[in-house]
A and B are shown apart, each in its own frame.
Chain A
Amino acid sequence: MIDWLTDPFRYQFMLNGLYAAILVGITCATLGSYVVLRRMAFIGDALAHTTLPGLVVAYLQGWSLFGGAVVAGIATALGIGWLSKRSEVREDTAIGIVFTGMFAFGILLISTARSFRDLTHMLFGNILGVTDQELGLIAGIAGVVVLALVLFHKELELASVDPVYAEVIGLRTDLIRYGLLVLLALATVAGIQAVGVVLTSAMLITPAAAASLLTNRLPRMMALSTVIGVGSGVIGLYLSYYADYSSGASIVLTATACFMIAWLYRAFRTA
């Protein structure tokens, strides 16, 4: 049994994958609690998709993919924040337009390039191809996100539960929203390494949504969400190693299974 568990990690790429899964699990699960509670699921998904042109431009120019994704993600976060403050179009409509346009632009750019293998990695993740350098960046993002959530816990919480009172005592709720969107862009970029552009929002939403069914305390929700997120990452990695499934899909489906278990548990407990 122990051999079965340790065997995959004789390989450096599996070990890097494990570290990446743990770090992405922590980052997305903690921040994901706010994504779920503030009903930002759609914006989270949109942010992940809009990083694609950034990734492709960086790839074609031979720049750091990571840098490309960070720039595109933060630009989108600020753009959506700005658009949604104006009143010509509804926020979800604005997000829908920006994200599909950016995603299509990314695909158009890729069609000018030769390799579609790299496209697959961008869209569906390549956690077993994470380099030491990328791992360092993922760790950096995890540090920034968790530190921000700890330091500004009471401000984020108040601005989410009662934005009017927050404004009254001088908190700029619009700045807090921008800050959350930038953190979301960073978490998305980390998530893309693990499960790719298309599935990243699952890492943000599913573990936190499962946790929200099991507790009504925010710190506990974040802790549970982290356990589910990290657990899904690690279990998904084993599934991928032994059954030769796609790693991104294995990780996300494990999280989906956790959500279903949490949902059943709650349904039976409250019945």
Chain B
Amino acid sequence: MMTLPYRREPCHGQSVPGEAAVSIRDLTIVLPDNDRPALDGISLTVPAGSRVALVGPNGAGKSTLLKAIVGLLKPRSGSILINGMPVRSCLHGVAYLPQRGEIDWHFPMTVRTMIETGRYVHLGWIRRPGPADRDLVEREIGRLGLDYLADRQIGQLSGGQQQRTMLARALVQGADLLLLDEPMNAVDADTRQILTDVLDDLRTEDRTAIIATHDLDRLANTFDDVLYLSDGHQMSATDAVPGLLAAGIA
């Protein structure tokens, strides 16, 4: 059956060789109804296969940066390139895990269907998930320890189980670039262990991950790079750490 994509994607699945997974130059973003920029002059290069943490207190601009990379927010100035191409050139290659509050958890949907929505970008209009899609879904359900929860309604899960469900959805998309907005927020110890293991798997799978957190300590993984944000500005580690220490974060 032919595919009717939600949006035309010019990327054809290949990246420009030798380009960084994400390359941000002097990015400034101003949110609607705001005078002060939410992000001001951010530059960041993320090599393919690396793992980068975005660290800073609430309101520092971590979510804003992830939303800009995924194309939900338009820059006022500066540029973002993904594999050397403009944002939204390759929707299926970028998986996004939003904050938990963006989802209507009361909606009558099962955990399995929620994870299945990660395949929709490949299916396009009308087409339903096939056996191959369902196999991928079952694999991630197993990997994230959701087997016994798969038929539950999404609102019946704990915070940590909801985070696992959203990570499973991001993973079934099969994207090379994952943008995770506070995946460790409000999770229990079990979930933290599972998420830590899965994030380590990503590295062996050579996938790139940018992970926002207001608490570097919570992420037991090692990172190739850390971007410290404070009030929309980029800080060097030496400047950031005393400030973060004072705020009780690092």
Contacts and interface: CB of A to CB of B under 8 A. Distances in A.
Interface of A: 37, 87, 151-152, 154-155, 157-158, 160-165, 167-172, 212, 215-218, 221
Nearest to B156: A216
Interface of B: 5-7, 9, 33, 70-72, 88, 91-92, 94, 96, 98, 102-104, 107-110, 113-114, 117, 120-121, 123, 125-126, 128, 153-155, 169
B70 A216 contact: no
Nearest to B98: A164
B6 A171 contact: yes
Given A168-B70, A168-B72, A216-B153, A162 B108 contact: no
15 contacts: A154-B120, A155-B125, A157-B107, A161-B104, A161-B107, A161-B117, A161-B154, A162-B102, A165-B102, A170-B9, A171-B6, A171-B120, A172-B6, A216-B153, A217-B108
A121 B114 CA distance: 45
Given A169-B120, A169-B121, A162 B103 contact: yes
A160 B106 CA distance: 11
A217 B110 contact: yes
A155 B7 CA distance: 13
Nearest to B170: A165
Most buried by A among B70, B108, B120, B126: B108
A200 B153 CA distance: 31
Contacts of B114: 161
A90 to B, nearest CB: 14
Contact of A170 (B6, B103, B107, B126): B6
Contacts of B123: 154
Contact of B98 (A87, A165, A218): A165
A169 B91 contact: yes
B246 to A, nearest CB: 33
B94 to A, nearest CB: 8
A167 B91 CA distance: 10
Given A37-B107, A165-B98, A216-B108, 18 more contacts: A154-B128, A157-B107, A157-B109, A157-B113, A161-B117, A162-B102, A164-B72, A165-B96, A165-B117, A168-B71, A168-B91, A170-B6, A170-B7, A170-B9, A170-B88, A215-B108, A218-B108, A218-B109
Nearest to A222: B108
Contacts of A165: 96, 98, 102-103, 117, 169
A158 B117 contact: yes
Contacts of A168: 70-72, 91, 94, 96
A106 B114 CA distance: 45
Contacts of B7: 170
A218 B110 CA distance: 9
A160 B107 CA distance: 8
A151 B91 contact: no
Contacts of A155: 120, 125
A37 B96 CA distance: 24
Contact of A154 (B71, B96, B103, B117): B117
Given A164-B98, A165-B96, A217-B110, A170 B91 contact: yes
A202 B98 CA distance: 35
A221 B108 CA distance: 8
Contacts of A215: 108
A215 B88 CA distance: 38
A242 B92 CA distance: 60
Contacts of A218: 107-109
Nearest to A158: B117
